[in-house]
Structure 1
Amino acid sequence: MKLKNKVILITGASSGIGEAVARKFADKGALLALTARRKDVIDKIARQLEVKTRAGSYKCDVTNIEDVRNVYRQIKIDFGKVDIAFLNSGVSFRSGVKEFSSEKAKQTFDTNVLGLINFVEVLLPDFMNDRHGVIVGVSSLADSRGFPKSGFYCASKAAASIFLESLRIELKPYNIKVITIRPGFVKTPMTDKNEFFMPFLMEPEKAAEIIVRGIEKEKRIIQFPFAISIAVRILKIIPDSLFEYLASREPIPKK
């Protein structure tokens, strides 16, 4: 897939994977519509990227469907269309049973699942009518099992992965591609909060390189790093009792 002159909408573009991917897309000559809640941050990023390509910035709360509709409407006015939607907004809270909070669960699912669904809702009519478009959803290798103190996050990413899989099957007759991104640990403001050792922690620029290359190759699922993807595949098939024993051990503190 050639990315030059493609109009790419990116949610969560203010930091981490979203920002790094935006910069890689700009190198490829794509036209960028950047969205995030922090308008001042994406304004700055857009100005930097306009040296290489056209970039617009839009304040958007993905959990608010009216906000999503209004932003998508404005992007179509400004760019004429969207070719690729890179749906990346996400949050995570380390929350064990002693700090259990349904409010944190709601925030997690509203952003990681409904934020994805909200943008799909506004994109689908145009994509299906044109029989053209690519939906890229960022999930996680954490979608494989319920890791301690990450239940909300793991469950939300499992929901996102299953939703994207269902969508991929349904949209195939319409020539719409659905790509699932399943990263391991990537150094972002979200993972900076983790107090445990994160094996194979990857810089966002390296992750973005893998993601963009996978999109160009039109891979259905882009997962990395290889070692972690193999490890979670094994964790998924081992007996539940063995997983529970391994997962209950104290994590190695981050040095």
Structure 2
Amino acid sequence: MSPPLAFITGASSGIGQALAARYAQAGWRLALVARRTEEMQAWAAGLRLDESRCRIYGADVAQIDSIVAAGQRCLAESGVPDVVIANAGISIGMDTRERADLDVMAQTFALNNTGLAATFHPFVAPMVQRGSGRLVGIASVASVRGLPGHGAYCASKAGVVAYCESLRTELHGSGVRVVTLCPGYIDTPLTRGNRYGMPFLMQPEAFADRAFQAIEAGASYRVIPWQMGWVARLLRWVPNAVFDRAVQGRGRKKRRGEH
């Protein structure tokens, strides 16, 4: 029997690339999606992963037909994955007073939400027919409460949590598990420009190892690291008046074009 197969989007850097490396280390075959295919080819070559171990698909996850086509190519070339990780996402600050930032919000939802559903789409029916598989949505601790200047990102990640929960209930009893992972602060290009403190900052490799374990266990929802899980629980119960005062003066996510 051939090794199991993991299909991962946003694999050219950060969490996605760390997850790809972790699955490769475990002996899995990889189907990796990214816009920067040349970088991905070089990365695979550096790990000595030939085409029998790693196939790379160029796609724009924000374009429905593009990511759906990548998934269909994977099915045709490698079969039904055992794990699909919808990791691709963006985080850009926004100010609702600025017209251009409404476009930022639309682009964020197109990638973080519609793109996630489109990533899963080609695989749901084949997985159900087989009676097994894991669909993994990468959300964020930012899904728990809205933060100033983070309206697009927080809303999109709250949407990921709700969507994955809906999908999980739809697929209950089918053998297909839906796993929602909520990273805290991970040291990636997405976070390095942040202008505020990032408690319990993790390296992407450490996150990938814990994520791998959570996915293998079939966890329905997991916050990583666990310390941020306790922070998330606390934030859910903090009264709005207290929360609103606490976040005043907090640094905002950089808007597009800000340095």
How far apart are the structure 1 equivalents of 2:72 and 2:195?
41
After superposition, where does 1:215-254 map in structure 2 within 5 Å? 215-251=215-251
Task: Choose the corresponding residue for 1:43, options 41, 44, 48.
Answer: 41
After superposition, where does 1:47-58 map in structure 2 within 5 Å? 47-51=45-49, 54-58=53-57
Q: Could you say which residue in structure 1 is the equivalent of 2:85?
A: 86
Give the AA of the match of 1:27: Q
Describe the superposition over 1:56-91 as per-residue Cα deviations: whole angstroms up to 9, x where unpaired: 111011121211222112112221221110110010
Deviates more, 1:155-164 or 1:49-58: 49-58
Q: Could you say which residue in structure 2 is the equivalent of 1:8?
A: 6
- Deviation, structure 1 residue 192: 1.2
Q: In structure 2, do the counterparts of structure 1 residues 86 and 250 end up closer, same or farther at CA, with 3 Å as the change threshold?
A: closer
Q: Does structure 2 retain, via aligned residues, the 8 Å contact 1:87–1:116? A: yes
After superposition, where does 1:57-76 map in structure 2 within 5 Å? 57-76=56-75
How far apart are the structure 1 equivalents of 2:251 and 2:107?
25
Please give the TM-score of this superposition, normalised by the length of structure 1.
0.92
After superposition, where does 1:100-249 map in structure 2 within 5 Å? 101-249=101-249
- Deviation, structure 1 residue 94: 1.8
- Deviation, structure 1 residue 211: 0.5
Give the AA of the match of 1:32: L
Give the AA of the match of 2:239: P
How far apart are the structure 2 equivalents of 1:73 and 1:214?
27
- Deviation, structure 1 residue 97: 4.5
Q: Does structure 2 retain, via aligned residues, the 8 Å contact 1:112–1:156? A: yes
How far apart are the structure 2 equivalents of 1:165 and 1:245?
31
How far apart are the structure 2 equivalents of 1:134 and 1:82?
9
Structure 1 runs (4+) greater than 3 angstroms displaced: 49-53, 96-100, 249-252
- Deviation, structure 1 residue 251: 4.1
Deviates more, 1:149-158 or 1:80-89: 80-89
- Deviation, structure 1 residue 50: 3.7
Give the AA of the match of 2:84: A
How far apart are the structure 2 equivalents of 1:35 and 1:117?
15
Q: In structure 2, do the counterparts of structure 1 residues 65 and 98 end up closer, same or farther at CA, with 3 Å as the change threshold?
A: closer
Describe the superposition over 1:98-140 as per-residue Cα deviations: whole angstroms up to 9, x where unpaired: 6561111011111110110111222212122222211011000
Deviates more, 1:127-136 or 1:24-33: 127-136
Q: Does structure 2 retain, via aligned residues, the 8 Å contact 1:182–1:222? A: yes
Q: Does structure 2 retain, via aligned residues, the 8 Å contact 1:46–1:56? A: no
Q: Does structure 2 retain, via aligned residues, the 8 Å contact 1:49–1:55? A: no
Percent identical among aligned pairs is 33
Structure with greater helix percent: 1
Please give the TM-score of this superposition, normalised by the length of structure 2.
0.91
| Structure 1, unaligned runs of 5 or more | none
How far apart are the structure 1 equivalents of 2:91 and 2:181?
17
How far apart are the structure 2 equivalents of 1:188 and 1:80?
31
RMSD: 1.8
How far apart are the structure 1 equivalents of 2:27 and 2:241?
50
Q: In structure 2, the residue corresponding to 1:222 is in which secondary structure?
A: strand
- Deviation, structure 1 residue 37: 1.1
Give the AA of the match of 2:203: E
| Structure 2, unaligned runs of 5 or more | 253-259
